[in-house]
Amino acid sequence: MSYTPEMRESIKKVEATRPTRLHETFPMMSPQEKQAILEKFHPDYKAESMREIRVGVSKGHRMPLELADVMEGASHLTSDLLDLERIDYDTDVLIIGGGGAGSSAALLARENGAKVIIANKLRHGDANTMMAQGGIQAADKPNDSPAIHYLDVMGGGHFANYPELVEVLVKDAPLVIKWLEDLGCMFDKEPDGTMRTIHGGGTSRKRMHSARDYSGAEIMRTLRDEVRSYPEDITVLEFAPAIELIMDDKGQVAGAVLLNMETGEHLVVRAKCTILATGGSGRLHYQGFATTNHYGATGDGLVLAYRVGAKLAFLDTMQYHPTGAAYPEQIVGLLVTEKVRGLGAQVCNIDGEQFVYPRETRDVEASAIIRECTERGKGVTTPSGMVGVWLDSPMIDLLHGPGTIERALPAMVRQFDRFDIDITKEPILVYPTLHYQNGGISLKPDGSTGVPNLFAAGEISGGVHGRNRLMGNSLLEVTVFGRRAGKAAALRAKEVKLGKLTLSHVDKWQRELEEAGIENPIKSPILLPDYRRKLR
Amino acid sequence: MAEELIPIFIMGKKYMVPSSLTIMKAMEYAGYQLIRGVGCRGGFCGACATVYRLPGDYRLQIGLACQTVVKPGMYLAQIPFYPARRADYCLAELEPTFQTVVKTYPELLRCLSCGTCTKVCPQGIDVKQYMADAMRGDIAAVADRSFDCIMCGLCVSRCPAEEVQPNIAILCRRLYGKYLSPRAEHLAERVAEIEAGKFDDDLAKMKSLSEEELRKMYNERDIEPE
Ligand SMILES: Cc1cc2nc3c(=O)[nH]c(=O)nc-3n(C[C@H](O)[C@H](O)[C@H](O)COP(=O)(O)OP(=O)(O)OC[C@H]3O[C@@H](n4cnc5c(N)ncnc54)[C@H](O)[C@@H]3O)c2cc1C
Ligand code: SF4
Ligand code: SF4
Ligand code: FES
């Protein structure tokens, strides 16, 4: 699976320019150039790829076609299908989705006195959080401050972010890193304990904390192990996704219906408060893009929340990560972490020329790569017809000393080595890939959603990142807002008096679909993507 | 050009699949809608442990279904779940010592140093060696050596001594991270500053700026050099 002779020819040119490039950095774009390239090349700016949603509280909100179809879907249930008097689980706080946000929420909810259930679609921890490689931001160095972090977040998000959310994000950041350190997370440190931090796209200070390039995995497995320390207080259900929220006759959210995916049985969970932490939606493959996301990233929580009246924010912006693998075929779309550029690797075209500053914000960087591969025709074509550009990974060892790549990027080295590509010696072919849902359910700083007793945290939410998230602010968001939602839900649960459970909102939703003339809607949430070959 | 199809055997049943697919995609091509045995699809979660044999080879081989390309005649089954005991413990109540590890997982000392675990690890981790480190009470060494473990359970499934290697490893990593690794002093200081409200005024000011003012500040901000 190593590179083809044609690709090797191009690699020779990359190698030839390397010695000079080591001392040159391509200039950053001006604000005007950035705007122009976004409008012309970023997938979000393709008008025909989006449409307005025709029903619900955020009627008229624009989003990708694929998401709109799912959001306007019909329920798997009707109100007469289930006897809600027969309750399978009764709890204070129900958390839907056990990634980083859900697990953080569970721990804080427990700490604040709640009995908790985490309902997972896959196994606990099979989640986007597990896949994050690059790291997590926090302004904890003397030359940095929460205010400087604030400015970076706002600028990265094109100043559309909700300021009150950004404020708590940057202010809680060092607290969260400390919390994780105390839970036993092995961050990369200098011998004296100083956090080893580097730049990420759009950062003005080196504040990216990492755990080799298994940063998300290290955080996820630590949180999961901590959750498992309290089996009396936190019940973990697996392969039991939520397929609808339950309400009560007072108009409050009161739990969810889960589906045992293996037996088809429906389970009724009654909960005083419910936290949605189902993550993103990369597996909807907007505009046919490959994705970095895990198998369960199908936007389920957005669907559930919207049917009970939660408002949406910024769902017309998706993040395309500039460097998805473009070769070999077997791993197309998988992430090549931004840390590779953070450590100094440059991006080059087929002739080995730089064409973009390597650490522009993701949307700008991705647009520049798309321009190089389309309008300028300077991409490298693979046998399967993918086009990509080179990410010159071998530079890293030249800049920081031999062995740096293996030490700092073991997951990347292994990923490519499995297909006979040695990224310490050869560059990596990359092309933008669908990575992150910038928007979602409109959130308040305590994790509440405006719908009584419904909270949300993590990638499912919208507002923190405005129109574009910076690397390392998402692992931060899931821990910051997971903790906040967990605490707020536990405290709120102490006051909640639930009424009679009902699914009447589902019938109402059905009528709305009919009135809007939406015919043959798909059933949603879709739960899993379907990659089966069409069988006879 | 139509892609070459090759025979593989999924739990004994023959299917013809394109030769370039990973085991995971080949199962989907064959018509399976996976529920178990799949998670991240990128080699990070350990959900897709798979065992297989190849024609004419007595050896049992292993791989991650999302990271392994099919081969002709591959005879395979996934192990999406393998029982492994997680001991009952709460990190905050433990001390970072050999005694802790042995008391938490007494079976540790039953390890025969046979090396089967090292042979099967899809991450290429020297599992036998980190078990040896654990038996010597070198928690830091276990933490370092086991760091890339994705908890797929393949080593557990093949161990003659019925060990739960990944669980012992995460216990050691957490003990190391919490108690043994040097503390980040600057972090503790920053936390104290935040709790004392040192940055509240700055942030309030930032929040009160107009978009124009923020934009100007952003475009003029100084960037820490490499
Ligand atoms: C490859 C990759 C690399 C990344 N790298 C970085 C990085 O370096 N730094 C950074 O800050 N961010 C990074 N991110 C982004 C970040 O990891 C995610 O945005 C974040 O972890 C999301 O956390 P979450 O808890 O909101 O969602 P997830 O971690 O995805 O968890 C959601 C969970 O909910 C489950 N679920 C879904 N639907 C249902 C349902 N109906 N019922 C029950 N459960 C359900 C899912 O299966 C999943 O387990 C990366 C993302 C990816 C994919
Ligand atoms: S397989 Fe089991 S007994 Fe053999 S070396 Fe590994 S842990 Fe020890
Ligand atoms: S050490 Fe064991 S559980 Fe961990 S990756 Fe290797 S085989 Fe899998
Ligand atoms: S699906 Fe996660 S490692 Fe293969």
Provide DSSP, A131-191.
H--S-EE---STT--HHHHHHHHHHHTTT-S-HHHHHHHHHHHHHHHHHHHHTT----B-T
Both tokens assigned to A221: 């497995």
CB-CB contact of A100 with A223 (8 Å):
yes
The 10s digit of each residue's pLDDT in A414-459 is 999 989 999 999 999 999 999 999 999 999 999 999 999 999 999 9
Q: Does pLDDT of B133 surpass 90?
A: yes
Q: Could you tell me if the CB of B109 is within 6 A of ligand 2? A: no
From CA A459, how far away is CA A467, in angstroms rounded?
Answer: 13
Q: Could you tell me if the CB of A201 is within 6 A of ligand 1? A: no
- Stretch A4-12: mean pLDDT: 95
Q: How confident is the model at residue A502 (pLDDT cuts 50, 70, 90)?
A: very high
Q: Which residues line ligand 4 (CB under 6 A)?
A: B 38-41, 43-48, 64-66
DSSP annotation string for A384-453: TS-EEEEE-TTHHHHHH-TTHHHHH-HHHHHHHHTTT--TTTS-EEEEEEEEEE--EEE--TTSB-SSTT
Whether chain A has a CB inside 8 Å of the CB on B124: the answer is yes
Which residue's entry shows tokens 């530079």?
Answer: A395
Q: Which of A120, A133, A221 to mutate to test the interface with B (most CBs of B within 10 A)?
A: A221
Q: How confident is the model at residue A500 (pLDDT cuts 50, 70, 90)?
A: very high
Number of H helices, E strands in chain A: 16, 21
Angle at A245 between CA A239 and CA A251, to 5 degrees: 160
Chain A residues within 8 A of B153 when measuring between CB atoms: none
Chain B residues within 8 A of A212 when measuring between CB atoms: 147-148
Q: Could you tell me if the CB of B159 is within 6 A of ligand 3? A: no
Name, in order, each residue with C-beta under 8 angstroms of B72's C-beta and a sequence gap of 6 or more.
B6, B7, B8, B19, B55
Among protein residues, the one whose CA lies closest to atom 6 of ligand 2: B117
CB contact under 8 A, A181 and B33: no
- Stretch A70-99: mean pLDDT: 96
- Stretch B149-177: mean pLDDT: 97
Q: Which residue of A has its CA nearest to B201?
A: A147
Whether chain A has a CB inside 8 Å of the CB on B95: the answer is no
Residue B222 is nearest to which of A147, A177, A204, comparing CB atoms?
A204
Global confidence as pTM: 0.96
Residue A174 is nearest to which of B151, B181, B194, comparing CB atoms?
B194
Q: Which of A182, A220, A225, A260 to mutate to test the interface with B (most CBs of B within 10 A)?
A: A225
Confidence at residue A147, expressed as pLDDT on a 0 to 100 scale:
98
Q: Does pLDDT of B154 surpass 60?
A: yes
CB contact under 8 A, B221 and A204: yes
Alpha-carbon A476 to chain mean position: 11
- The beta-carbon contacts of B148-152 under 8 Å, at least 24 apart in sequence, are B148/A212, B148/A214, B148/A410, B148/A411, B148/A414, B148/B123, B149/B123, B149/B125, B150/A217, B150/B43, B150/B44, B150/B45, B150/B46, B150/B122, B150/B123, B151/A221, B151/B46, B152/B46, B152/B47, B152/B48, B152/B49, B152/B64, B152/B122, B152/B123
Residue A182 is nearest to which of B68, B86, B178, comparing CB atoms?
B178
| Count of C-beta atoms within a 10 Å radius of residue B2 | 5
Taking the CA of A294 as reference, the closest ligand is 1
Which residue's entry shows tokens 């090549």?
Answer: A336
- Stretch B116-132: mean pLDDT: 97
Q: How far is A453 from chain B (nearest CA, A)?
A: 28
CB contact under 8 A, B69 and A228: no
- Stretch A334-347: mean pLDDT: 93
CB-CB contact of A241 with A298 (8 Å):
no
Name, in order, each residue with C-beta under 8 angstroms of A343's C-beta and a sequence gap of 6 or more.
A198, A396, A399, A400, A404, A408, A409
Question: With pLDDT > 70 as the criterion, what percentage of chain A qualifies?
Answer: 100
Taking only residues 6 to 25 of chain B, the set having a beta carbon closer than 8 angstroms to any beta carbon of chain A reads 20-22, 25
The amino acid that residue A435 corresponds to is H
Residue B40 is nearest to which of A131, A143, A177, comparing CB atoms?
A131
CB pairs under 8 A between A and B: 225
- Where is B142: in which H helix or E strand? helix B139-145
CB contact under 8 A, A126 and B39: yes
From CA A293, how far away is CA A297, in angstroms rounded?
Answer: 6
Q: How far is B41 from chain A (nearest CA, A)?
A: 6
> Checking DSSP bridges between strand A387-391 and strand A347-348, what pairing results, if any?
antiparallel
- Among residues A43, A37, A46, A26, which one has the least CA distance to residue A364? A37
Active-site residue set of A: 321, 341
Q: Does pLDDT of A75 surpass 90?
A: yes
Confidence at residue A384, expressed as pLDDT on a 0 to 100 scale:
86
Mutate to test the pocket of ligand 3, among B123, B157, B163, B170 (most ligand atoms within 8 A of CB): B123
- Among residues A519, A459, A107, which one has the least CA distance to residue A301? A459
Chain A residues within 8 A of B196 when measuring between CB atoms: none
Among protein residues, the one whose CA lies closest to atom 7 of ligand 3: B121
Chain A residues within 8 A of B187 when measuring between CB atoms: 140, 174, 177-178, 181, 195
Q: How confident is the model at residue A1 (pLDDT cuts 50, 70, 90)?
A: low
A96 forms beta bridges with A119, A276
The amino acid that residue A531 corresponds to is Y
Confidence at residue A534, expressed as pLDDT on a 0 to 100 scale:
85
CB-CB contact of A202 with A152 (8 Å):
yes
- Stretch A191-197: mean pLDDT: 97
Q: Could you tell me if the CB of B167 is within 6 A of ligand 3? A: no
Q: Using the mean position of ligand 3's atoms as its centre, give its distance from the Cα of residue A414 in Å.
A: 14
Both tokens assigned to A370: 């798309």
Among protein residues, the one whose CA lies closest to atom 31 of ligand 1: A99
CB contact under 8 A, A330 and B20: yes
Taking the CA of B84 as reference, the closest ligand is 3
CB contact under 8 A, B35 and A261: yes
Among protein residues, the one whose CA lies closest to atom 3 of ligand 4: B43
Confidence at residue B201, expressed as pLDDT on a 0 to 100 scale:
97
Q: Which residue of A has its CA nearest to B36?
A: A122
DSSP annotation string for A463-525: SSSTT-PPTTHHHHHHHHHHHHHHHHHHHHHTT-----EE-HHHHHHHHHHHHTT--SPPBS-
Confidence at residue A58, expressed as pLDDT on a 0 to 100 scale:
97
- Stretch B111-137: mean pLDDT: 97
Among protein residues, the one whose CA lies closest to atom 11 of ligand 1: A472
Taking only residues 185 to 214 of chain B, the set having a beta carbon closer than 8 angstroms to any beta carbon of chain A reads 185-188, 190-191, 194, 199, 202-203, 205-207, 211, 214
Between A362-373 and A31-41, two packed helices, what is the crossing angle to 10 degrees? 60
Q: Which residue of B has its CA nearest to A198?
A: B226
Whether chain A has a CB inside 8 Å of the CB on B126: the answer is no
Q: Does pLDDT of B1 surpass 80?
A: no
- Stretch A235-251: mean pLDDT: 98
Q: What is the DSSP letter of A532?
A: P
Chain A residues within 8 A of B221 when measuring between CB atoms: 148, 151-152, 155, 204
